[in-house]
Amino acid sequence: MKKFFAVLLAAMMMVSMLSFASAEGFSGEVKVWVAEAVVDFTNQQVEAFKAANPDYANMTVTVQAVGEGDAASNMITDVEGGADIFGFAQDQLARLVAAGALEVVEESNAAVVEKENDAGSVAAVKMGDVMYAYPMTSDNGYFLYYDKSVVTDPTNLEAILADCEKAGKNFYFEINSGWYQTAFFFGAGATLTYDSDEEGNLVGINCTYNSEEGLKALKSMIKVAKSPAFMNGSSASNATNIGAIVDGTWDANVLMDMLGENFAATKLPTVDGYQLGGFGGFKMLGVKPQVDEAKLAACDALAAFLTSGDVQLARYNVAQWGPSNLAAQQDPAVQENEALAALAAQLAFTMPQGQYPGEYWSLATALGDDIIADKLDNATDEELMDVLKNFAETAATYIK
Amino acid sequence: MTDLEYLSLSKPAKIGYDFLSFLKRIPLGIAHGTKNLVLNTGRFFKTLWNEIVDVVMTFVNGDWITRLSFLVMGFGNCMRKQPLRGILFFVFQTVFNLYMFTFGMPYLAKFATLGDVPTTKKGRVTVYGDNSFFILLYGILTIFFVLAFIYTWRVNVKQNKLGQQYLKEGRKFKGAREDLRSIADEQFHKTLLALPTLGIFTFTVLPIIFMILVAFTNFDYEHQPPSKLFTWVGWQNFSTLLSSGGANYGDTFRQVLFWTLMWAFFATFLNYFLGMLVAIMINKKGIRLKKMWRTILVMTIAIPQFVSLLYVSKMFAADGLINGTLMRWGWISSPIPFWTNAAWARFTVILINLWIGIPYLMLIATGILMNIPADLYESARMDGANAIQMYMKITLPYMLFVTGPYLLTSFIGNINNFNVIFLLSQGKPLSLELAGNAGYTDLLITWLYKMTVSDTNYKIAAVIGILVFIITVVINLVVYNLMPSVKNEEDFQ
């Protein structure tokens, strides 16, 4: 019996020594969730990170493929079981902060992020003045792809629709998405933004949809939806008969294959005399709140590394994710990309996407579905105004 | 009405009479139920009182062994030559005490508030406070454990009373060997059922109670453990969902409920009659290549719905195969809004559901149709009945009799038919006229899914879950009692 205790004691001492020895760096496990397309890339970069930081060389990093949308939902459902570092699109930021799934970015890292990334992406990772995530890409926006043999004048939506109708092709625009819809509203001069405090709560709304500008936008949308060439959708791989499509950089490869020599990309067209606007969007990397200081430091360091300029550029070269880092954006390889050039051209007319409540997206879908279902086709201006007023009022009920 | 009068009624009149008498029985049934409830409650309290009196009397009349056994369970059994029982009692008590003091107590203590210590920050490190989720879950578990303990303690007291009595009467005690033999023999059912009962309790009963209780809390995206607390709110969620004011949840709920019932009705009965029709046609004498027709139909069953339904939903899209073809042929000038118009979308899901439902019904009906005695038809034909008469008087009653329970379960199944709706339309189209992310083809079950998965609105989802349960139970009970297979059990035997 004594022997047994002796062995036990010795074992305990060894364990405590081991954990003491590792207190400087971190040698536990860190779970990372990124989109499937960049899992291998992230694994390579994690190795590079370990090589560059001997303190963390013994850390076990598991990289799992979890898409940006799923990552946010999974984190919200089960914070404790979720990843320590995870990639997500910025529309999820408010939800994640409200659910307590994001740790504030460490001060020195935040200063670096602020300095090295474009202004839009820096604004997007903040709630109030507090930075909650590391910007990773600045390519989550949309612009126009078109078939050169069909569309003769890509600067004007009426002309595009006429060309598509003539050729029996379709113009794809996801009018029932709160994300794409803003192209019309913002373009016409209406706005809808929410003010957030530092804890992820939305405390104020600035909505001018129920105005002349909003009415103009809504009427344009109804007009476009009436065209026989109009097709609701924004996924190139689901589209069957593309004349033109409003889509983002993620579908560039699909469209290049599909359209071949006739592939072209440019900024969004004008409609009814105004330029279509919209959101500029971003992908980011977040760190979840930690109970262990050493692990938190390790996660901070890894997240900062994975979103640094060099890694962003490398990620562009592997997966064509457009960087948010200013230096990486100047790289010739990035500058040559046709889709990213179109996105950059559109950037002048967009506003950085701020924080929106989850309900906003379904509200916008509901409005879009009503337009597609032709419910508003024969409505008078007053009736349309009522719809917009109702929309603005409902959107205002989401603030606390 | 006498039996003779009833039998002389026409078929619809009979059904009407049945239905009316069913309605008439409802108040009686309610009165009966209330009376039973009062009686049973009275009986329960009487039993409880008797038990308490018995426990007290056992203590008063007990010797020192019995009295000590009140505190140390199993002591009496050990002293009275039943060491196995005694040890088991003692082990149970020890486990219970250990559980309570190390685990259960803290959760139970906070059960009334579901936690009050918020999550805080210490520098950059997070210090989690109470976790309402675990408090609720383990609180329930602990309550059950306490009930089990009280029961066991009561058994322990009873054993002591019996023990004293046996000693006084000089009767022999059951030893350990006899006890062991008994659980393998006359109490063998308990041995067999112990594990399944435990499994059902942990994996079914506990989660259900948990979900029911969630309906009385404010567990949603703003109150998300571990960093936020949630707490009890009483009936508030029910009034949100059922009242017509507020965020308009009430109107949306009625709309979704209406469509759910409509869908269940059409999905069940259209499939049923069309499937039967197809089976009758294939079964008809003179139809050639019977096996081929059946194989073609069964093919839809062979392909997983996940594949076929997703594909079909694309086919019906505005730029899909069907619209494209019709437009190329010049039959329509603009795409038919299969998925974007509320009425069309509802029609389309019912239509597509026919395509996947008919083959199943065809198979079932084929088997039953072959079972109908041919002499029934023969004599009907001799009496000069035509095909329709034979169908109405022989085939349909027989089918209804045999498949009545199936119809009922498939109606209930269709109320909860998640797959078809979610794979085809995801509940779309949405509208500004509906609240809570609900769409015009949403069933209660798909709406519930959206609420839990994309909106993290567990409180309302739990209420919907309870309401779905109530609705299905009511329909089940009403229809089951009206069914010919239950009422006239001997008709076709």
If asked whether residues B175 and B257 sit together in one domain, one would say no
Structural domain contains residue B42: no
Structural domain contains residue B47: no
CA A200 to CA B465: how far, in whole Å?
A: 30
CA A163 to CA A229: how far, in whole Å?
A: 9
CA A301 to CA A59: how far, in whole Å?
A: 12
pLDDT in tens, A206-228: 999 999 999 999 999 999 998 88
Mean confidence (pLDDT) of chain B: 88
Structural domain contains residue B334: yes
Residue keyed to tokens 């009376």:
B35
pLDDT at B329 over 50: yes
If asked whether residues B362 and B441 sit together in one domain, one would say yes
Structural domain contains residue B348: yes
Q: Where are the alpha helices (DSSP H) in B70-205?
A: 75-79, 83-99, 105-109, 132-169, 176-184, 188-200
Minimal C-alpha gap between A371 and chain B (Å) = 9
Residue A159: predicted pLDDT: 93
Maximal C-alpha separation, chain A: 93
If asked whether residues B113 and B199 sit together in one domain, one would say yes
CA B141 to CA B148: how far, in whole Å?
A: 11
Pairing between strand A60-65 and A126-127? unpaired
Residue B334: predicted pLDDT: 79
State mean pLDDT over B8-23: 79
If asked whether residues B218 and B271 sit together in one domain, one would say no
pLDDT in tens, B142-187: 999 999 999 999 999 998 888 888 888 888 877 788 888 888 888 8
Residue B307: predicted pLDDT: 87
Q: Are A392 and B432 in contact (CB under 8 A)?
A: no
| Contact status of B122 with chain A (Cβ, < 8 Å) | no
| Contact status of B175 with chain A (Cβ, < 8 Å) | no
Q: Nearest residue on chain A to B327, judged by CA atoms?
A: A168
Task: Enumerate residues 6+ apart whose C-beta is below 8 A from B3.
Answer: none
| Contact status of B129 with chain A (Cβ, < 8 Å) | no
- Domain hosting B298: range is 249-487
B431 with A106: Cβ contact below 8 A? no
Minimal C-alpha gap between B332 and chain A (Å) = 11
Test the A interface: residue of B227, B333, B430 with most A CBs within 10 Å: B430
ipTM of the prediction: 0.72
B126 with A375: Cβ contact below 8 A? no
Task: Give the 3-state secondary structure percentages of chain A, helix then strand then coil, rounded to 5.
Answer: 50, 20, 30
- When pLDDT is cut at 50, 70 and 90, the band that residue B330 belongs to is confident
CA A239 to CA A232: how far, in whole Å?
A: 10
Q: Which residues of A251-284 are buried (b: 16+ CB within 10 A; e: fewer)?
A: bbebbbebbeeebbbbbbbebeebbbbbbbbbbb
Structural domain contains residue B222: yes
Pick A170's closest partner by Cβ from B319, B428, B439.
B319
If asked whether residues B271 and B162 sit together in one domain, one would say no
CA A199 to CA A256: how far, in whole Å?
A: 43
If asked whether residues B268 and B403 sit together in one domain, one would say yes
Residues of A in contact with B439 (CB under 8 A): 369
Residue A6: predicted pLDDT: 52
- When pLDDT is cut at 50, 70 and 90, the band that residue A24 belongs to is low
Q: Which residue, B210, B234, B258, sits at the end of a domain? A: B234
CA B439 to CA B448: how far, in whole Å?
A: 12
If asked whether residues B200 and B306 sit together in one domain, one would say no
Length of chain B: 493
Chain A, chain B: beta-carbon pairs less than 8 Å apart:
105
If asked whether residues B374 and B229 sit together in one domain, one would say no
A293 with B333: Cβ contact below 8 A? no
A99 with B341: Cβ contact below 8 A? no
pTM over cut 0.90: no
Domains of chain A are 25-139+282-342 (3.40.190.10), 143-277+357-396 (3.40.190.10)
Residue A87: predicted pLDDT: 93
B437 with A359: Cβ contact below 8 A? yes
Structural domain contains residue B45: no
A100 with B228: Cβ contact below 8 A? yes
Q: Which residue, B204, B234, B264, sits at the end of a domain? A: B234
- When pLDDT is cut at 50, 70 and 90, the band that residue A16 belongs to is very low
Residue B400: predicted pLDDT: 85
Residues of B in contact with A358 (CB under 8 A): 221, 454-455
| Contact status of B342 with chain A (Cβ, < 8 Å) | yes
Question: Which of these ranges, A204-213, B368-377, B475-484, has the smallest mean pLDDT?
Answer: B475-484
Q: Are A79 and A99 in contact (CB under 8 A)?
A: yes
Residues of A in contact with B222 (CB under 8 A): 98, 400
- Collapse the DSSP code of A144 into the 3-class scheme (helix H, G, I; strand E, B; otherwise coil) and give the result: strand
Pick A100's closest partner by Cβ from B227, B341, B428.
B227
pLDDT at B246 over 60: no
Structural domain contains residue B162: yes
Test the A interface: residue of B340, B344, B347 with most A CBs within 10 Å: B340
Q: Nearest residue on chain B to A177, judged by CA atoms?
A: B430
B221 with A95: Cβ contact below 8 A? yes
Residues of A in contact with B430 (CB under 8 A): 176, 362, 365-366, 369
A296 with B429: Cβ contact below 8 A? no
Test the A interface: residue of B319, B321, B322 with most A CBs within 10 Å: B319
Number of domains in chain B: 2
| Contact status of A273 with chain B (Cβ, < 8 Å) | no
Selected residue with higher pLDDT from B2 and B31: B31
Minimal C-alpha gap between A367 and chain B (Å) = 6
For A358, the token pair is: 């989850």
pLDDT at A18 over 70: no
Mean confidence (pLDDT) of chain A: 86
Test the B interface: residue of A235, A369, A388 with most B CBs within 10 Å: A369
Minimal C-alpha gap between A390 and chain B (Å) = 9
If asked whether residues B385 and B436 sit together in one domain, one would say yes
If asked whether residues B413 and B276 sit together in one domain, one would say yes
Please report how the helices A39-52 and A309-319 are oriented relative to each other, as an axis angle in degrees rounded to 10. Answer: 150
Q: Nearest residue on chain B to A394, judged by CA atoms?
A: B247
Residue B346: predicted pLDDT: 94
Residues of A in contact with B127 (CB under 8 A): 291
B439 with A369: Cβ contact below 8 A? yes
B430 with A240: Cβ contact below 8 A? no
B437 with A296: Cβ contact below 8 A? no
Q: Which residue, B234, B266, B291, sits at the end of a domain? A: B234
Structural domain contains residue B20: no
CATH number at residue B461: 1.10.3720.10
pLDDT at B385 over 50: yes
A100 with B119: Cβ contact below 8 A? yes
If asked whether residues B273 and B130 sit together in one domain, one would say no
If asked whether residues B378 and B342 sit together in one domain, one would say yes
What are the two backbone dihedrals, phi and then psi, of residue A134, each rounded to the nearest 5 degrees? -100, 120
